Amino acid sequence: MSTASFALLPSTTPAADAVRDNILAAPGFGQYFTDHMAHVRWTLDAGWHGHEVRPYGPLTLDPAAAVLHYAQEIFEGIKAYRHADGSVWTFRPEKNAERFRRSARRLALPELSDEDFIGSIKALLAQDHAWVPTPKNAADECSLYLRPFMIASETFLGVRPAREVDYYVIASPAAAYFKGGIEPVSIWLSSHYKRAAPGGTGFAKCGGNYAASLAAQKEASDHGCGQVAFLDAVENKWLEELGGMNLFFVYKDGRIATPRLTDTILEGVTRDSVLTLAKDEGLTPEERPISIDEWREGAASGEITEVFACGTAAVITPVGELVTEEGPIRLAAQGDNEVAKRLRTKLLDLQYGRSEDKHGWLTRL
Ligand code: COI
């Protein structure tokens, strides 16, 4: 496996300290980018080569580049956290690296080693360390959101796997994904659109899945909702996931359930961590099929006491209601989302180094 070092092409126009500090004070989500980006090139003949960290800036692509026509592209989302002593850490990067390879296989792209995936993040952070925000308090979820991605850059209009590919990592200082922070979000149930079908690309983190979710996401916004929930494409009955995050249900008997993984659901790193942390908390995690009827009936009977969304960007965000064409589904036993808040605090404390990393999930950058 490659352990190549990344050559540095220093930025000639790094942001001034005052400009950066201003951005870090209120970064929003996905609006600002750091001074550099990491890059590695792949060609069928030479494999991965040309590891570099170069100034952040526009890419030059031929208009016939395959990615622009056939969407041969994958990406990841992972965060860097600043601890109280100033050190910077990331969370379970080997899980993202593994998922990136799964996505690559499905999209007929070349696989990147753990060494290159994690090495590219370390090389970028070595330059752009100052862009990792410092949390103001234990509720502050500010971080540096890292976006590794891979595109088919070969100039060729025939439909076949590209023989030239580029991998990049860009970084963006981030606050909470939802404007209301941890205020419960409303979710729209898409009755018409489907996100993924068996045998398709649902389990891969590829741009096409997100493009396919956008018409439904627009419907959600038109109904005043922050996210859209998708049902399965075969029976139109089983809950799959939201446009960009996984779903959990908390039951009054201490069970906590999430849809079991199929090839139409993205395996979230936060989802997997919540299953472990829930067990640590004495809850009973379950991965199994969950129908829309179970949500409707459990909400009405008080069996379901909380619903929450989770993901790298969303962390853990309570769901207040599911808006459907037949009317909203609200929890009869809606409390103050105690379990979601407890798990969220556990996760953030771990990621920001405020509690012991007993699962060995942190990697220093
Ligand atoms: C992430 O959570 O990292 C994602 O890619 C989802 C997207 C809604 C930002």
Question: 77 alpha carbon to ligand 1 midpoint, in Å?
Answer: 6
Please tell me the number of Cα atoms within 13 Å of 299 on its side-chain side.
16
Contacting residues for 254 by C-beta, under 8 A, at least 6 apart: 282, 283, 284
Q: How far apart are CA 325 and CA 249, in angstroms?
A: 21
Please tell me the number of Cα atoms within 13 Å of 346 on its side-chain side.
18
Question: 313 alpha carbon to ligand 1 midpoint, in Å?
Answer: 5
Cβ 148 under 6 angstroms from ligand 1: no
Mean pLDDT of 350-362: 96
pLDDT digits (tens, 9 = 90+) for 23-78: 999 999 999 999 999 999 999 999 999 999 999 999 999 999 999 999 999 999 99
Mean pLDDT of 268-290: 97
At 2, is the pLDDT very low, low, confident or very high (cuts 50, 70, 90)? very low
pLDDT digits (tens, 9 = 90+) for 184-242: 999 999 889 999 999 999 999 999 999 999 999 999 999 999 999 999 999 999 999 99
Cβ 244 under 6 angstroms from ligand 1: yes
- Please tell me the predicted confidence (pLDDT) of residue 138: 86
Could you tell which of 312, 315, 316, 351 is best to mutate to test the pocket of ligand 1, judged by most ligand atoms within 8 Å of the CB? Answer: 312
The alpha-carbon radius of gyration of the chain (Å, integer) is 21
**For helices 93-106 and 269-280, angle between their N-to-C axes, nearest 10 degrees:** 140
- Please tell me the predicted confidence (pLDDT) of residue 10: 78
* Secondary structure (DSSP) of 104-148: HHHTT-----HHHHHHHHHHHHHHHGGGSPPPSSTT---EEEEEE
What are the structure tokens assigned to 214, written together?
């956008």
ipTM of the shown complex: 0.95
> H helices then E strands: how many in the chain?
8, 18
Atom 6 (ligand 1): residue with closest C-alpha? 244
Mean pLDDT of 340-355: 95
Nearest-atom index, ligand 1, CA of 77: 3
Question: 158 alpha carbon to ligand 1 midpoint, in Å?
Answer: 31
Question: 99 alpha carbon to ligand 1 midpoint, in Å?
Answer: 14
pTM > 0.90: yes or no: yes
- Please tell me the predicted confidence (pLDDT) of residue 280: 96
Question: 314 alpha carbon to ligand 1 midpoint, in Å?
Answer: 7
What are the structure tokens assigned to 289, written together?
């099929």
